[in-house]
């Protein structure tokens, strides 16, 4: 599964790569570097670990609720970082 997804990501990067005439834009370069470092395999592994933690915590517990909130906050932070790069 990871090999298939990785090949599709590489294909999309190749097809969507757009060069702008003139000097490169620093903001675009930063976003490009962040996207290039993203790994489907790492994302799937992280999601699996989070699912295992939630299963062990009992989602309805206070600790489970706090874990979900902190994970949500981390995802929001990562999304904002991509936007302001």
What confidence tens digit (pLDDT) does each residue in 10-63 have? 777 676 665 555 555 555 566 666 666 667 778 888 889 988 998 898 878 899
Q: Give the residue among 16, 44, 42 at the shortest CA–CA distance from 31.
A: 16
On the question of pLDDT at 4 being above 70, the answer is yes
Residues 2, 42: Cα–Cα separation, whole Å: 9
Q: At 69, is the pLDDT very low, low, confident or very high (cuts 50, 70, 90)?
A: very high
Residues 16, 7: Cα–Cα separation, whole Å: 14
Over range 51-79, report the average pLDDT: 89
Residues 53, 50: Cα–Cα separation, whole Å: 5
On the question of pLDDT at 72 being above 90, the answer is yes
Is residue 40 a contact partner of residue 6, using CB atoms and an 8 Å limit? yes
Over range 61-75, report the average pLDDT: 91
């Amino acid at each position: 599964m990871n090999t298939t997804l990785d090949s599709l990501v590489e294909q999309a990067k190749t097809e969507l790569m757009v060069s702008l005439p003139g000097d490169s834009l620093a903001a675009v370069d930063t976003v490009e570097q962040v996207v290039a470092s993203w790994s489907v395999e790492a994302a799937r592994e992280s999601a699996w670990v989070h699912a295992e933690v939630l299963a062990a915590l009992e989602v309805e517990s206070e600790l489970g609720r706090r874990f979900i909130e902190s994970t949500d906050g981390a995802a929001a932070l990562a999304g904002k970082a991509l936007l302001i790069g």
